[in-house]
């Protein structure tokens, strides 16, 4: 099975006086790869090393001004809020879906939590079904399933489809046991590939999901960062079985604020209610000031629309520029269509890398970081076979505030081009130069 780094360390048991009896599902797991690389990069920087942080998926843009203002105004709020979330926020989210996707959710269909990651975990805890995830997939779905003790089916994908989930491969998993309860995760624009799905592809996947009555967990956290602003939710084609997962972390640049939400079809109120029971016994409710601020984020506001328009323009040119850089090195990667990730395949350099003793993605990323200061995340963490020389590259090592200033100002009426990239992302240019030199 493709999988993440999992290894047992029993030495702690010998050192302690008390017997260490960890839950067997947790024993041997290591901290989440994204957070581990972030902390490692910070530690290296603190030691004085120059690090090009292309390992972590954090938005470089500041939180939009009206949202920060609203947070400031609501800092005094101290009372616990309703477990499912502030009603006013759930109303704003339901209007957001209506406005953006023409989808009709009532506030009662929405569950707010401290990050969509927590909600994903609780979903797996309360729903008794297998987890079906395409490979590659974001780093946390699989370990969450392991922790909860769910069976995982990795679905085969193909480089020539830009690693997208295909209806045929999904059906081949469902056919193994057609009546089995399943949660199928579809994440697009994708972390780690940056690719998204066409309307026809979404319709075909929706058809298979309906045929086998699976829960489709549509992780659309990068939806608003579709580079052309053309994200389409699969909930339009499978409304009765799709839960949409999203939040503030990516498009609103507020990962550290910890606010996510699930939007459920009416027929799944029982599932929302069961998740709320677990929420009430665990996180209680999401931070009150953050929820009030989130109301401003989801409300219609021309200033936020302008911010998003510029953020997309910037990500589009950076994605295109660095994708092209990879292409010129002979490195294949899917064309980025949304979010801020590239998924390069270094296979063309396999022989050269082998001569340096590098034979898998993990060693490749470790050595690249050690030799050049450029941090990437190995594809092993995304469920690819370790010997495949793919990795995730987050093109976020730039000053988001400066980039917005340039896009709103000097470049307002100009096409963003190589000159813009030089001005806004000099560190990434240097990182790419180092990768190129290293491969030589
Ligand atoms: N899904 C994907 C694909 C992600 O990249 C992330 C990382 N932010 C999450 C879910 C979790 O996001 P959060 O918990 O910040 O809402
Ligand atoms: N989602 C981000 C990433 O993939 C980081 C945050 C997280 O994993 O919780 O890098």
Cβ neighbours of residue 72 closer than 8 Å, sequence gap 6 or more: none
Say if ligand 1 is within 6 A of residue 134 CB: no
Helix, strand or coil, per DSSP, at residue 391? strand
Which atom of ligand 2 lies closest to the CA of 117? Answer: 9
Q: Which of 299, 326, 348 is the last residue of a domain?
A: 299
Q: Which of 257, 273, 299 is the last residue of a domain?
A: 299
Does residue 420 have a cis peptide bond before it, meaning omega lies within 30 degrees of 0? no
Q: What pLDDT shows up at residue 112?
A: 99
**Pair 127, 241: CB distance under 8 Å:** no
Residue 15 falls inside a structural domain: no
- For residue 272, CA distances in Å to 85, 180, 191, 345, 361 come to 12, 21, 25, 40, 39
* Domains contained in the chain, number: 2
Instruction: Kindly report the pTM of this predicted structure.
Output: 0.95
Q: Is residue 12 part of a domain?
A: no
267 with 137, same domain: the answer is: yes
DSSP 3-state percent helix, strand, coil across the chain (nearest 5): 45, 10, 40
As a whole number of angstroms, the distance between CA 330 and CA 262 comes to 40
Q: Which of 92, 20, 64 minimizes the C-alpha distance to 308?
A: 64
Residue 21 counted as domain residue: no
- What number does the ligand 2 atom closest to the CA of 192 have? 4
Q: What is the position in ligand 1's atom list of the atom closest to the CA of 118?
A: 14
**Ligand 1 pocket mutation, candidates 36, 113, 138, 244, criterion most atoms within 8 A of CB:** 138
Residue 412 CA to ligand 2 center (angstroms) comes to: 31
| Residue 19 belongs to some domain of the structure | no
> Do residues 53 and 111 share a domain?
no
Which of 4, 35, 42, 56 maximizes ligand 2 atoms within 8 Å of its Cβ, making it the mutation to test the pocket? Answer: 56
- Tell whether 26 is covered by a domain: no
- Ligand 1 centre distance from Cα of residue 173 (Å): 25
Domain assignment of residue 24, yes or no = no
Q: Determine the pLDDT at residue 17.
A: 77
Residues 83, 280: Cα–Cα separation, whole Å: 6
pLDDT mean for each 10 residues of the chain (440 residues): 52 66 91 94 95 97 98 98 98 98 98 98 97 98 97 97 98 98 98 98 98 98 98 98 98 98 98 98 98 98 98 98 98 98 98 96 96 97 97 98 98 97 98 97
Neighbouring CB atoms inside 10 A of 320's CB total 15
Residue 245 Cβ contacting ligand 2 at under 6 Å? no
- Residues 248, 146, 27, 394: is their CA dihedral positive or negative? negative
Q: Is residue 11 part of a domain?
A: no
- CATH number for the domain spanning 432: value is 3.90.1150.10
Query: What's the CATH code of the domain at 96?
Result: 3.40.640.10
Q: Which range marks the domain in which residue 131 is found?
A: 65-299
270 and 400 in a single domain? The answer is no
């Amino acid at each position: 099975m493709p999988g993440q780094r999992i290894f047992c360390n029993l030495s702690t048991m010998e050192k302690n006086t008390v017997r260490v009896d960890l839950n067997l599902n947790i024993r041997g797991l290591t901290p989440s790869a994204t957070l581990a690389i972030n902390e490692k990069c910070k530690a290296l920087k603190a030691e004085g090393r120059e690090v090009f942080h292309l390992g972590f998926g954090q938005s470089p843009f500041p939180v939009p001004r009206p949202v920060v203002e609203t947070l400031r105004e609501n800092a005094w709020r101290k009372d616990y809020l309703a477990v499912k979330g502030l009603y006013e926020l759930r109303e704003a989210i339901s209007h957001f879906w209506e406005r953006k996707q023409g989808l009709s959710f009532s506030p009662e269909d929405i569950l707010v939590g401290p990050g969509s990651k927590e909600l994903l975990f609780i979903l797996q805890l309360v729903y008794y079904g297998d987890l079906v995830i395409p490979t590659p997939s974001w780093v946390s779905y699989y370990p969450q399933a392991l922790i909860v003790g769910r069976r995982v089916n990795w679905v085969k994908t193909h480089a020539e489809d830009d690693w997208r989930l295909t209806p045929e491969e999904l059906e081949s998993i469902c056919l193994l046991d057609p009546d089995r309860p399943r949660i199928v995760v579809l994440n697009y624009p994708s972390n780690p590939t940056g690719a998204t799905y066409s309307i026809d592809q979404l319709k075909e996947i929706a058809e298979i999901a309906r045929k086998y009555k699976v829960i489709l967990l549509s992780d659309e956290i990068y939806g608003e960062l579709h580079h052309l602003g053309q994200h389409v939710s699969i909930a339009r084609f499978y409304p009765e079985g799709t839960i949409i997962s999203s939040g503030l972390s990516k498009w609103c640049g507020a990962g550290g604020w910890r606010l996510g939400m699930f939007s459920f079809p009416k027929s799944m109120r029982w599932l929302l209610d069961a998740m709320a029971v677990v929420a009430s016994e665990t996180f209680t409710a999401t931070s009150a000031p953050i929820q009030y601020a989130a109301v401003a984020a989801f409300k219609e506001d021309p200033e936020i629309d302008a911010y998003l328009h510029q953020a997309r323009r910037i990500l589009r040119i950076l994605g295109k520029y660095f994708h092209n850089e990879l292409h010129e090195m002979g490195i294949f990667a899917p064309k980025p269509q949304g979010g801020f990730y590239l998924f390069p395949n270094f296979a063309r350099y396999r022989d050269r890398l082998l001569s340096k003793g590098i034979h898998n993605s993990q060693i490749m990323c470790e050595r690249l970081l050690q030799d050049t200061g450029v941090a990437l995340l190995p594809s092993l963490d995304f469920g690819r076979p370790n010997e495949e020389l793919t990795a995730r590259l987050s093109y976020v090592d730039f000053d988001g505030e400066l980039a917005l200033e340039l896009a709103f100002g000097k470049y307002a009426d100009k096409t963003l081009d190589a000159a813009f990239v030089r001005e806004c992302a000099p560190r990434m240019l240097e990182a790419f130069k180092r990768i190129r030199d290293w491969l030589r």
